[in-house]
Chain A
Amino acid sequence: MPEISEIAAPFPGVFYRRANPDSAPLAEPGQVIAVGRVIALIEVMKMFHEVQSAVAGKITEFCAEDGDAVAMGQIIAKIERQS
């Protein structure tokens, strides 16, 4: 069984998968990423903070939509670990 890691929002705020409304998503489901890869942004009081993956692996799912409000600790993505 592959091990699934959950990425939690480090701050409360507004969740974004894109750096600009017109640009491509920072990461897509199915994509294989390395440790430290920026997968999303969270806007806290008009400042944008990067959310990095703490694990390497394949993104299986994003659990929040662009522009959603997220709470601190809320799961925003799932990653199938690869060592």
Chain B
Amino acid sequence: MTLTRVLIANRGEIASRIIRACQELGHETVAAFSEADRNARWVREADLAVCIGPPPAAKSYLNRKAVVQAALDCGATSVHPGYGFLAENEVFAQAVLDAGLIWIGPPPQCIGLMGDKSSALRVATGAGVPTLPRSGVLVSLDEALIEAEVLGYPLLLKANAGGGGRGIRPIVSPDALAVSFDQARAEVGAAFGDASLYLEKLLTGARHVEVQIICDSSGNSIHLYERDCSLQRRRQKVVEEAPSSFINAVTRAELAEAALRLAGVVDYISVGTVEFLVAQDQTFYFIEMNTRVQVEHGVTELVTGVDIVREQIRIAHGQPLSLQQNDVALRGAAIEVRVNAEDPEMSFMGSPGTITVFEAPLGPGIRVDSGFGSGDMVQPFYDSLVCKILAHDVDRKAVIRRLKMALTQTDIQGVTTNLSFLGKALKLSSFQEGSHHTQTLESEIASAG
């Protein structure tokens, strides 16, 4: 058997997660690191390590040429992009393939079709998967008022050029639209050089529910049910769980079917996640697809027993799925919290520094995915995720209790973390009852707003 050597083009907890999966499969690993991460934990864990550039991500982890060259120089056979950075970069995926390397992700054309939001919405519409009702591009207030009447209030006024939430305004009435339209046009025009706007139906009290899928290159596709990531702050997921306690059995089946149908029309191969908003009446709308492994994949691994990263690596190397749909069963409930180096008392400002104490929780049903330990540096150059704490138990009530206990047993010193905020989130009565939605965290915890 020929040697498989996987270069990991990422950092932090996901780099450690991928290294573990590779080592379990008997593959060698190469950590591609920036100068800031030279002494990092995952760099020490890998079999080989290669520096790809200076600390700012644009000069290292986002440097396509440097990463491909590093892979060739160290004799790697394959490249795993993790999440973020270059994971959904079609040009990078193609460059990896053009260099004669195996890309541990979907075919580049799938990234192109599904990674771009407006393209993905067109694909979804074509596949008969519902999307949120939206208007065409609006050039005048008169036109906007007519379209708004058709769609029905409340609405979101959004920038066609888009990005970073700029120009997005909730609109509750024709009067509000009249006030906001010109302001939004001016703001968006200044920010993007393109003043075109559109209206989209605003769902209030909706849940974020996403379906994990895996497709191999032999045409086999399975889903691993859903994750519910409705506790969010500023559109960033904070707490994730599997399964969703909100959707009924019919919706569960329909969501999974829609996700696999979408994957089918683009001939998807690899792991992926299809994200939906689910309204209070269980109607659902496709919002986007992530063509990579996700931060929160672990809760699905806990309730299904399927190792998603291992399947992803196997499939990229031409092997078939190691299981069929009938083999996938849900067992119990799992919840994850994202522990970030940030200060909830200071507008969640990032808190870089050296971790002096890292005491992870232990015990049955507890899993910690971390890229850091005592003595490791949390760098200012990258995102603030320190570790993920996951719990698994027989049902949702039990797992909430187990995870709350785990948080009280966690001690991280040297950097400020959001652990206290996560504890508050788990204690929200709306979360415990399961009546929470995507606006809950910001409306019920004052500091999160």
- A interface with B by C-beta (< 8 Å): 11-14, 43-47, 49, 67-69
Given contacts A12-B352, A69-B36, A69-B54, contact A45 B382 (CB under 8 A): yes
Report the stretch among B55-63, B224-232, B391-399 that lies at the interface: B55-63
Q: Which chain B residues have a beta carbon within 8 Å of chain A's beta carbons?
A: 36, 54-56, 58-59, 341-342, 349-350, 352, 380-384
- Complex Cα spacing A68 to B352, Å: 17
Per a CB cutoff under 8 Å, which of B56, B342, B349, B380 touches A67? Answer: B56
* B384 adjacent to A45 (CB under 8 Å): yes
Residues on the A chain within 8 Å of B384, using CB = 45-46
Given pairs A12-B380, A14-B56, A69-B55, 19 additional interface contacts (CB within 8 A):
A13-B380, A14-B55, A14-B381, A44-B349, A44-B352, A45-B341, A45-B352, A45-B380, A45-B382, A45-B383, A46-B382, A46-B383, A49-B349, A67-B56, A67-B59, A68-B56, A69-B36, A69-B56, A69-B381
B380 contacts A44, CB within 8 Å?
Answer: yes
Q: Which residues on the A side are within 8 Å of B383 (C-beta)?
A: 45-46
Complex Cα distance, B55 from A67, in Å, reads 10
- In contact, A67 and B58 (Cβ under 8 angstroms): yes
**Which residue of A is nearest B351, CB measured?**
A45
Closest A residue, CB atoms, query B347:
A47
Q: List the A side residues contacting B381 at CB < 8 Å.
A: 13-14, 43, 69
CB distance from A62 to the nearest CB of B (A): 16
Q: Which residues of A sit under 8 angstroms from B350, Cβ to Cβ? A: 44-47
A-B contact pairs, 10 of them (CB 8 A): A13-B381, A14-B55, A14-B381, A44-B349, A44-B350, A45-B341, A45-B382, A67-B56, A69-B36, A69-B381
Are B56 and A11 interface neighbours, CB within 8 A? Answer: no
Cα distance A13–B56 in the bound complex, in angstroms: 8
Identify the 3 closest CB pairs spanning chains A and B, nearest first: A45-B350, A69-B55, A13-B380
Task: Provide the bound-state CA to CA distance between A14 and B383, in Å.
Answer: 12
Q: Which residues of A contact B55 (CB under 8 A)?
A: 14, 69
CB proximity of B213 to chain A, nearest CB, Å: 28
| Docked pose: A13 CA to B58 CA in angstroms | 13
Closest partner residue, chain A, to B342 (CB atom): A45
Rounded to whole angstroms, the CA-CA distance of A11 and B379 in the bound complex is 12
A45 to B349 CA separation, bound complex (whole angstroms): 8
Q: Separation in Å of the B256 CB from the closest CB of chain A?
A: 33
Instruction: Give B126 Cβ to nearest chain A Cβ, in Å.
Output: 33
Enumerate chain A residues within 8 angstroms of B54, measured Cβ to Cβ: 69
**Min CB gap B232→A, angstroms:** 16
Q: For A14, list chain B residues within 8 Å (CB).
A: 55-56, 380-381
Taken together as a complex, chains A and B put the C-alpha atoms of A47 and B347 apart, in Å, by 11
CB contacts (< 8 Å) of A45 on chain B: these are 341-342, 350, 352, 380, 382-384
The residue of chain A having its C-beta at the shortest distance from the C-beta of B36 within the complex is A69
Nearest chain A residue, comparing its CB with the CB of B57: A14
Residues of A within 8 A of B349 (CB): 44, 47, 49
A49 surroundings in chain B (CB, below 8 A): 349
A37 CA to B197 CA in the complex, in Å?
Answer: 32
